[in-house]
Amino acid sequence: MKGRTLSIVAGLALAVAASVPTYAQDASVKAHVPFGFSVRNSAFPAGDYTLSQLSQSSWIVRNDATNKAITAAARANGTNPDESVAKLVFTKYGEHYFLSRLWCEGLTTEIAEPKPERAIQIQMTSSNQKPETVYVLASAR
């Protein structure tokens, strides 16, 4: 009798574990970015991109045409109210665009700021210029 009870409990535990949502690790978005941009210390041309979440603290950014890809450090930064909206958020300093946030499946993720972005930010602040925020709509996959 104990063996049967143990089997039932193990089966229930497995069923519960399998039903826990894993969307955060399977998050992926596709977008057409109409301008060149930087992530970390890498520059990417305008084009089609797929961004896939590896873990809570990292995303892969891949150019669909060239397959060039990098891993970007990230951190969760709250939620967005509309789970159906996916978008990439860029910070624009002069003519330089940096991927800064990503909205996907109700979550907002902040991409780590690279050293070149900080240098430009300091330069612009000293000349009283402000960065712009640019949004690119994406589709969650």
pLDDT digits (tens, 9 = 90+) for 102-122: 988 777 888 887 676 777 777
pLDDT digits (tens, 9 = 90+) for 38-67: 998 889 999 999 999 998 889 999 999 999
Tell me the C-alpha to C-alpha distance, in Å, between residue 115 and each of 42, 57, 61, 71, 75.
Answer: 11, 18, 18, 16, 17
- pTM metric for this prediction: 0.73
37 burial (CB, 10 Å; 0-12 / 13-18 / 19+) is buried
Tokens of 105: 């499946």
What integer pLDDT is reported at residue 135 of this predicted model? 92
